[in-house]
């Protein structure tokens, strides 16, 4: 299993970039790194995922180190609506199927 480690909480000022780190030193070569977020009492929302290369979509950018032991999720211009728990997940195999194992995540608080 790829265990991930994230800081329990982070603060960010509205309009600034939010950089959320994740350590996944035990990740194996075929495990993707996925990022989800969960706004209070809602279902988790998919943000982005990657294997080796950096990725960008309309929500965020994902920077993965060359050794794949860590990654950073970047929200380029954080808004108050980005306040949520952010989960970094190593997407792994389980009896031949791939399952998500959520860690504790990072509570991001975006303030005015």
Name which position in 42, 58, 67, 81 contacts another protein (CB under 8 A): 42
Q: Can residue 32 be called a binding residue for another protein (CB under 8 A)? A: yes
- Nearest 5°: the CA angle 107, 55, 59 is 50
CA quadruple 26, 70, 3, 52: dihedral, nearest 10: -70
Q: Can residue 83 be called a binding residue for another protein (CB under 8 A)? A: no
93-to-31, 32, 52, 101 alpha-carbon distances in Å: 8, 11, 18, 10
Taking CB under 8 A as the criterion, which residues in 48-67 touch another protein? 49
Q: Can residue 31 be called a binding residue for another protein (CB under 8 A)? A: yes
Q: Can residue 20 be called a binding residue for another protein (CB under 8 A)? A: no
Least Cβ distance, residue 16 to another protein (angstroms): 27
């Amino acid at each position: 299993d790829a265990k991930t480690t994230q800081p329990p909480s982070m603060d960010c000022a509205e309009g600034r970039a939010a950089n959320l780190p994740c350590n996944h030193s035990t990740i194996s070569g075929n495990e993707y790194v996925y990022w989800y977020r969960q706004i209070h009492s809602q279902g988790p929302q998919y943000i982005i995922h990657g294997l080796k290369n950096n990725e960008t979509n309309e929500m965020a950018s994902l920077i993965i180190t060359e050794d794949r032991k860590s990654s950073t999720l970047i929200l380029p211009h954080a808004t108050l609506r980005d306040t949520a728990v952010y989960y970094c997940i190593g997407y792994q195999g389980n009896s031949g199927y791939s399952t998500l194992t959520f860690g504790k995540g990072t509570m991001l608080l975006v303030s005015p």
